[in-house]
Amino acid sequence: MALMRRLMLSFLILFMVAVFVFAATEVLPGDALDVYLSSDDLAIMSEADIEEMRQRFGLDRPAWVRFWEWFSGAIFGDLGKTLIDENDIVDLIWHPLLNSIILGAIITAITLPTAFLIGSITGYNRGSRTDAAVSTLTIVGYSIPDFVIGNVLIILFAVWLALFPAVIFVFSNASTSELLAVSLLPALTVIIGHVAHQSRLLRAGFIETMNSEFVERARLSGLSERRVVFRHALPASVIPMLNSLALYVAGLLAGLVVVERVFGYPGLGRELIEAVARREVHVVQGITFWSASFIIFMNLLADFAIIALDPRVRSAKSA
């Protein structure tokens, strides 16, 4: 029953996000037809010709009709076609999506283990010089915007040391090996801030867990400190990270948009920016809708993981 409520709430949130995204793109100045037609074209075309083109692109229909047509297709994976070229949007964004998944997977594979290690060490040694030094560095790392970190890394590793290219010159359908070769600087740009944030969350969760009642009971039962830490404290201290999983995914997607723009990485973020510039509202809506769906899905997974890892939640569910 609780699962059904969560699923229904998630669908409602997704619907509200879809309404917001559609409304936001509707209020953008102009439309794809304005971009498609130059000022000279508009000067020689009659009102009837312009109206005919609007009918061809479906821009003359009421907003609610266009919204429902788009949303009813989007929930089943059909994002429609681009307004001008009439290309399938899923085909258009498929390769950039895979490229962003590769970059996001690299970032996550490095971020989470590193944050787990830093957070658990500083949490266990809270109040020490190591804790103070690392905490200061994490606060600094979390406070610096991604675009600043990216430009600093470009100056350091691309301009001064000439170890990496400052701008990525690969096509969106490049092979995985080609993408891996140019992904280090973009990945490192996002990793710094996310490691800082996630390690702070784990540190706070570890300290709270070590002072909790069930850890005290484990100690009183005669378990060794090593067993208490690794069997009881560490799994429960991951809960704050899981609670913020949706925020992590949202921050990761935002970071990808920034680094793909800064480095020219051929991902979904760069495709989104270019679609906004072209006024391709269907592409903007599709990318945003898929991103929101992924965030909501990851939030559901986090809820299930919390139930599995947190003994307090398990006992509350069984009571």
d(CA 239, CA 244): 9
CB atoms within 10 A of CB 135: 17
DSSP state string for 127-188: TSHHHHHHHHHHHHHHHS-HHHHHHHHIIIIIIIS--S-SS----TT--HHHHHHT-HHHHH
**pLDDT reported for residue 226:** 80
**For the CA atoms of 240, 242, 243, 244, what is the dihedral angle to 10 degrees?**
90
The arithmetic mean of pLDDT across residues 211-234, rounded, is 79
Cα dist. 217→121, 203, 232, 266, 315 in Å?
22, 21, 11, 53, 16
- For the segment 193-202, the average pLDDT, to the nearest whole number, is 90
**Residue 49: DSSP 8-state:** H
Mean pLDDT of 287-299: 87
pLDDT band at 107 (very low <50, low <70, confident <90, very high): very high
On the question of pLDDT at 39 being above 60, the answer is no
Q: What pLDDT shows up at residue 38?
A: 55
The mean pLDDT of 176-197, rounded to a whole number, is: 86
- Predicted confidence (pLDDT) at residue 66 exceeds the cutoff of 80: yes
Mean pLDDT score, 117-131: 88
pLDDT band of residue 227 (cuts 50, 70, 90) is confident
What local confidence, expressed as pLDDT, does residue 44 receive?
Answer: 63
- Give the percent of the chain with pLDDT over 90: 15
Q: How buried is residue 112: exposed, middle or buried, by Cβ count under 10 Å (0-12/13-18/19+)? A: middle
The answer for residues whose C-beta is within 8 angstroms of residue 253's C-beta and 6 or more apart is: 104, 269, 291, 294, 295
Give the mean pLDDT of 97-111: 92
Q: What is the largest CA-CA distance in the chain?
A: 88
Q: Which residue has the tokens 């040391």?
A: 161
The 10 Å Cβ neighbour count of residue 56 is 12
- Alpha-carbon distances, residue 226 vs 56, 124, 169, 210, 256 (angstroms): 69, 11, 50, 12, 39
The answer on pLDDT for 272 being more than 70 is: yes
Least confident stretch, 173-182, 246-255, 273-282, 290-299 = 173-182
- Reported as a single tens digit per residue, the pLDDT across 148-184 is 998 899 899 888 988 877 777 676 677 777 777 788 8
What pLDDT is attached to residue 31?
A: 61
Domains identified in the chain and CATH numbers:
2-74 (no CATH), 90-318 (1.10.3720.10)
pLDDT at position 55 is 75
- Token pair of 165 as six digits: 């290219």
Residue 194, pLDDT score: 92
The pLDDT value recorded for residue 30 is: 63
